[in-house]
Structure 1
């Protein structure tokens, strides 16, 4: 029973190859589907944004054309009325004609120069002979030119826009004005122009004035509402034409296009819910998946067959290796059909593996000799090198280096920054020394540089250059870091390696006592390194 379970749950090459290949195939398929989804999604978003932008530009142009047409109609009526301004009957007929000839205005009114209503169309409006001081009328009387007012609440309580033209007689005398109203909260020309553009999938458009008040909205109850913070409205009221993704006041992600009406500064916004724009994508991805599945199944079958073909020789070799005590095992192994290079060269691969093991051991031996933080040699290496040079009676110099105020750096900035300082100094030491020099970190913030086959003066020059190089740079966030160095030479200062190291160490401490950021040689401080 245990053998059966072990066989079922055994991790062998065939299963590993199959798992890897199937995983790669599934990952590739999933990545392809995901990439396709992302590309199609972005295409749908970009197309919707561009379509809404173009639509907003078109509707802004339609709105501007309507305003131009309304001004032409009013200007014509003003010209017709100029010669008959003293006859209310004729003015009434002109007002009725203007009101009935199109659906542009909910009402038409003639005013005299004082703002008194002369006639109205329809006549049922209870405004005749009243002097109106509403914003639209007051502005028109003051400006005496073609005007479109900002929305305001009229005397009768209607939220409206007032479009007007001055009435001037042949001598240039200002007689009054003729004006048409658009009742924003009732059926009006904007509904006729824009209302048919409403979509059933949640798309809609709206128009705002420069005060962020809704002039048109598919939900007529929202007309007159003041819109708060909204990136789309901010952009369109700056006179911009464009597109963007934004969230509307109900918290729905929308794809919006916008354009401004030049004459009035109104903003036209066309937007569509993001989920509506992406609705076709789900069906598209299902079609892609359905078309991909048959090929994916054939690919899985091929992977299984090929994995079996690759793993069979190694599986047979492994089975026979477990029977090494049998005298016929060699014949069985020879009978294994090793049809590819790796299985035929398994014995040689074992030798390569052994060789690789020795290389790893050598690498481990090298790692033992290096300081893991800086990559420099450790104290053990310096001792071995000095012992060898002592036996060879080799000329060399020793430079001890200690970072000034390193404990303060650790206490102020933390040990992580301290480690970065050590690594930075290790790089500078490599740059300022020769390839034959032995560079060691002896502990903490102390470094030892062993310079073979060098004169005392040359060793001093190297130490001074290193001191200047370190003091010249800065390390974030510490700033300037300085070091103190001590130099000793064998046999100039001592003939024994141990004595040379002690002399260099004493010189380094002498440099610290003398003010730091300097080099000292065997008891004598030479000079500061600025």
Structure 2
């Protein structure tokens, strides 16, 4: 291989290897960002819908309890029972059918009357259990006497002395249009994303595909965890063999679980398209670069050939001049080295920027959970005490529902600005969830962190965040190692104090005080 080809090969390697590494690193970083973001979004989504479902179940149970109280003195009045059954079904819209039965399971009234159960004795496990326990219950899914696949919610009817007179039950027909469709069906997307609900045994009770209802989901990490009361994220394979990115959360009142998931290939499709576009648009420039490198290699090789010629002809006149002229290229070589160093510097800067993006929340510009974990590890390694202020926007769902997500995002950005405003140089304000934030205060005690938290609370309360009338936050404070030697416990207690502040009326600061 002659020198010109060697220079060309080295130049090509020097140009395209960093470029390929940059593309690869960019792809991997952005891919992980997309996966993490989708998992976190699905978790937040499942948690929100699980809470909505839990609220519905409690509300429906209260409706049954109220009607049960009204029927205490009406158990011998069939017309009154029919009226109340019809009223509850038609006004609440929570149940597909209502049944009232006595303490033997004999049906006294139904709505609608087309169920044709009047006078029959119900023998289902759910009815027998309600008669035995004489307590409110929510059944497992089962096939009713009328041939419907249902979940039955039951409330006992008791006389003033506590005697069991019977019960009123509300049925949700799982394979027909029902309240779960109205509560969850409106959240169906057209990109392959969907959500479904399972009972405590992993049996599907809501699914966009009605044929799946009633089937038990096996070998699914998300379902296995949520039926144990867990919440989180997982990459799973659905019944059609497609990899899905799932977030899941339990429904506390029933033991059900809500799983929201999106196809992984749909999540990554924009990134694949982007990288393909970058490659196509870069290809013409790459071809021009190859031609330019070939020309440069020829220009660089020519003086070196002259130097070799001069070395072979040292006894010829003018050789010294030719060598001096070639030696001037050493300066150019040094400049080339500087240019290469500059190119490497630009490459490292690009990688640094990508790393910064990985550790930054794109909406608010604050650090994200990854950044928070890195800072905590750094402080722990230095044995530097720190305080944690965990905060959450009060009634943030109401902001999104009333003014829209654009205004909600604006509120998040303004809150981030207030956090940065009160932060010191070494403090780390971070966004770790939808409307959840953490302020890490190196060197701070619980007392000093509480003062910072109170200043932040007052500043946000007084801030003008138009068009939102008023925005408040609830805050919880803990510190390491003052509150606990275990860092995970410190963050957990800060979150617990946040929830204490929520339960205490919101717009307040709660401080963790370790037991004596």
Q: TM class by shorter-chain length?
A: 0.5 to 0.7
Question: Which of the residues 209, 222, 231 maps onto 1:232?
Answer: 222
Deviation at 1:286, TM superposition (A): 4.1
Change (3 A) 1:216 1:343: closer
Report the equivalent of 1:282.
Answer: 272
| Cα offsets for 1:71-115 (capped at 9, x unmatched) | 011011111111212101101100010011132111101111111
Q: Check if 1:79 corresponds to 2:69.
A: yes
Question: Which of the residues 79, 90, 99 maps onto 2:89?
Answer: 99
How many residues in Structure 1 have an aligned counterpart in Structure 2? 333
Q: Check if 1:46 corresponds to 2:26.
A: no
Question: Which of the residues 55, 66, 91 maps onto 1:65?
Answer: 55
- Give the alignment's TM-score, normalised by structure 1: 0.59
Structure 1 unaligned regions, length at least 5:
1-10, 345-530
Structure 2 unaligned regions, length at least 5:
334-516
CA distance in 2, matches of 1:121, 1:343: 94
Question: Which of the residues 289, 303, 316 maps onto 2:306?
Answer: 316
CA distance in 1, matches of 2:157, 2:324: 114
CA distance in 2, matches of 1:327, 1:181: 109
Deviation at 1:322, TM superposition (A): 6.2
Deviation at 1:313, TM superposition (A): 2.3
CA distance in 2, matches of 1:32, 1:323: 47
Q: What aligned pairs does 1:194-343 form with structure 2 within 5 A after superposition? A: 194-289=184-279, 303-304=293-294, 306-319=296-309, 330=319, 333-334=322-323, 336-341=325-330
Deviates more, 1:276-285 or 1:159-168: 276-285
CA distance in 2, matches of 1:25, 1:112: 85
The answer as to whether partners of 1:88 and 1:119 remain within 8 angstroms in 2 is yes
Deviation at 1:320, TM superposition (A): 5.1
SS of the residue 2:71 aligns to = helix
Report the equivalent of 1:109.
Answer: 99
Q: What aligned pairs does 1:437-476 form with structure 2 within 5 A after superposition? A: none
| Cα offsets for 1:328-386 (capped at 9, x unmatched) | 58468547532145999xxxxxxxxxxxxxxxxxxxxxxxxxxxxxxxxxxxxxxxxxx
Deviation at 1:311, TM superposition (A): 2.8
Q: What aligned pairs does 1:467-506 form with structure 2 within 5 A after superposition? A: none
Deviation at 1:14, TM superposition (A): 2.5
CA distance in 1, matches of 2:237, 2:20: 31
Report the equivalent of 2:140.
Answer: 150
SS of the residue 2:82 aligns to = helix
| Cα offsets for 1:56-78 (capped at 9, x unmatched) | 10111111111111101101111
Q: What aligned pairs does 1:326-405 form with structure 2 within 5 A after superposition? A: 330=319, 333-334=322-323, 336-341=325-330
The answer as to whether partners of 2:99 and 2:111 remain within 8 angstroms in 1 is yes
The answer as to whether partners of 2:65 and 2:156 remain within 8 angstroms in 1 is yes
CA distance in 2, matches of 1:69, 1:92: 22
- Give the alignment's TM-score, normalised by structure 2: 0.60
Report the equivalent of 2:425.
Answer: none
CA distance in 1, matches of 2:89, 2:320: 111
Report the equivalent of 2:431.
Answer: none
CA distance in 2, matches of 1:308, 1:157: 87
SS of the residue 1:82 aligns to = coil
CA distance in 2, matches of 1:287, 1:15: 31
Deviation at 1:300, TM superposition (A): 5.4
CA distance in 1, matches of 2:159, 2:316: 130
Report the equivalent of 1:179.
Answer: 169
Deviation at 1:124, TM superposition (A): 1.5
CA distance in 1, matches of 2:246, 2:265: 13
Question: Which of the residues 121, 141, 145 maps onto 1:131?
Answer: 121
Aligned alpha-carbon RMSD (Å): 2.6
Q: Check if 1:193 corresponds to 2:166.
A: no
The answer as to whether partners of 1:232 and 1:258 remain within 8 angstroms in 2 is yes
Report the equivalent of 2:406.
Answer: none
CA distance in 2, matches of 1:173, 1:47: 55
Deviation at 1:133, TM superposition (A): 1.3
The answer as to whether partners of 2:304 and 2:326 remain within 8 angstroms in 1 is no
SS of the residue 1:51 aligns to = helix
Deviation at 1:315, TM superposition (A): 1.4
Deviation at 1:156, TM superposition (A): 2.1
